[in-house]
Structures are given as C-alpha cells and as structure tokens.
Chains A and B, each alone.
Chain A
C-alpha cells in the first residue's frame, strides 16, 4: 500500500522527478486561480451579484472576521498569507470526491513546506510590524527563564503543524483503502464523507493555528488589549 503520492513518479528526466504530489499541487493551484479569475471578472457593488462573487465574498468575509478576532484590526496585512493557506488546504482536501485524486496534503513534503512557510512568516510579520527588537523581546516576555522554552516551541510547533495535517489526511485515505476490503460499496462512502469533514477541520485548524502563532509573536500585549 502506498503511503504518500510522492512515490508515484509519472515522468522522470535525469534528476528531475515529476511525481503525483507536484502534479496535483499544480492542479489545485490552477483550479484556485481559475476560480478566482472567474469570480473577479465582473465585480459589482449592487445586486444582482454573480454566483462566483457571492461565494468568494462569503469565504473572504469569514476569513476576515476570524483574523480580526484572533490577531486584531490590521486585517489586510495577514489576509493574503492566512487566506491562501486555508484555501489551498481546503480545496486540496475537498477534491477527494474526484476518483483517482490523491490529496497533495497527504504527502509529508507538502505539509512540511506549508509549515516552513508559517515558521518564516512569524518573524517576518513581527519584524516588519515591531522591528527586530520588538520581535526578540517576545522570547523573554514573561521572564528570561522562558527563553529555551520559546526556542524549543518554535521548532516543535512547526513539526506538529506538518505532522498533524499529514497524519490526518494520510490516515483517512489509508483507512478508506483498508475498509474497502472488509465492507465494499457502503463503508467507503461513509468514510469518504467523514474524510471531507476531517479535511475541512484540518484546514481550519492549520489556518487558525498559524494566525495564533503570528499573533503571539506580534506582541501578546497588543492582542490582549483589543479583545
């Protein structure tokens, strides 16, 4: 049984291997860009709005509300990064309804790349907002004794972000494959529906955790004052 779509190489040239993960990642990215192009083609202020504009406005409004509750009123700085994370994971988990599709989030390379983006985005947002000193100060925030814990936490939370998403999506597809041998026709459908739910929850959790990490490094004093 294959664990991840990394092992299925469909085209190889020298050291360049084109595996299923890369193919489906680009397919998901292309689909998102195409849908966004469809939605923003004829933007209108007054109703009747187009269907695409309605659904995208609902999604963007939801994300803006969450970012305002977690980080603060400076939504437009964080919306591109966090919204992209959520949309990519959500769409790539949603497309498992298509046969022969392997979610790229079920591969440790994809999830590690996404977690590394969060790992570097945290100091980026903090330094551009508060300067280098403001970022370094949060390491000694309650007391300097907490410095090793903060440094350790930076690495362990990147690891948990990657492994949590990978483990959930990979286990879902493996369990569906294993149950196919026991009760075919019925149980895989139920497990697929359960997998859709799990995928959306994992996308939500990934984005919310990234927002919480960014908010914690951007200065807990500021976040507390606004809530």
Chain B
C-alpha cells in the first residue's frame, strides 16, 4: 500500500469517525437542554420569552462543538493539506 492510499484511507475513515463520535455529546446535551427548557416553560409560561432566548443562545454554544467536528471532516475530505502535498510531490 503506497502512502497516497494510506492518506486517503485514513482521511476518509477519520472524517466519518469525527462526525460520528463528535456528534454524540452535543446531541445528548441539546436534548437535555431542550427538555429542561420545556419543563421550565410549562411551569412558568410567563417567562417563556427570556427562557427561549437563553435556550437559543445555549443551543448555539452547544452546537458549535458539532460544527467544529463538521468543519474538520470537511477539511479532511475536500482540502486535505497532506493530500495536496502528496499530489504536488508526485
């Protein structure tokens, strides 16, 4: 197996694994956050505005972790620096 194949295989596998493993924790965290926010809104419907605003901001914070994973896998697939080096070097 030459090094181009190894780099391609490793990049593809790690891109998939990054998305698969990296989205577990944000998914669990977002589920917890939404369920607690819904409970709070059900208990205090008057505070729904401020609760939903804090919920959105918190969800954005949590989701940024998943987006980091996504950007890393996109970099691995489309603009892989090692791949460019291999194809430039021959």
Q: Name A residues whose Cβ lies closer than 8 Å to a Cβ of B.
A: 1, 3, 66, 69, 160, 163-164, 166-168, 170-171, 174, 201-202, 204-205, 208-209, 212
Cβ–Cβ contact B63 & A164, under 8 A: yes
Stretch of B5-13, B36-44, B65-73, B80-88 lying at the A interface: B65-73
Contact in complex: B56, A164 (CB < 8 Å) = no
Are B57 and A160 in touch, CB under 8 angstroms? no
Sort chain B's interface into a size bin. 10 to 19
Which of A3, A166, A174, A205 is the one whose CB lies under 8 Å from B60? A205
Q: Chain B binding site: helix, strand, loop or mixed by DSSP?
A: helix
* Contacts beyond the supplied A3-B79, A164-B60, A171-B67: 4 A-B pairs with Cβ under 8 Å: A160-B64, A164-B63, A164-B64, A205-B60
Q: State whether the Cβ of B17 lies closer than 8 Å to any Cβ in chain A.
A: no
**Do the beta carbons of B60 and A163 come within 8 Å of each other?**
no
Q: Which residues of A contact B56 (CB under 8 A)?
A: 201, 204-205, 208
In the complex the two chains form, what is the Cα distance from A66 to B60 in whole Å? 17
Residues in A with CB closer than 8 Å to B70 are 167, 171
| Chain B residue contacts of A208, Cβ below 8 A | 53, 56-57
Given A201-B56, A208-B57: A163 and B68 interface contact (C-beta under 8 Å): yes
Indicate if the CB atoms of A168 and B78 lie closer than 8 Å.
no
For residue B74, CB closer than 8 A to chain A, the reply is yes
Q: Are A212 and B57 in contact (CB under 8 A)?
A: yes
Is A168's CB under 8 angstroms from B67's CB? Answer: yes
Q: Do residues A163 and B57 form an inter-chain contact, with CB atoms below 8 A?
A: no
Contact A163 B79 (CB under 8 A): no
Q: Which residues of A contact B67 (CB under 8 A)?
A: 163-164, 167-168, 171
Q: Name 29 A/B residue pairs within 8 A (Cβ), A-sorted.
A: A1-B78, A3-B78, A66-B53, A69-B50, A69-B53, A160-B61, A160-B64, A163-B64, A163-B68, A163-B71, A164-B60, A166-B71, A167-B67, A167-B68, A167-B70, A167-B71, A170-B74, A171-B67, A171-B74, A174-B74, A201-B56, A202-B60, A205-B56, A205-B57, A208-B53, A208-B56, A208-B57, A209-B57, A209-B60
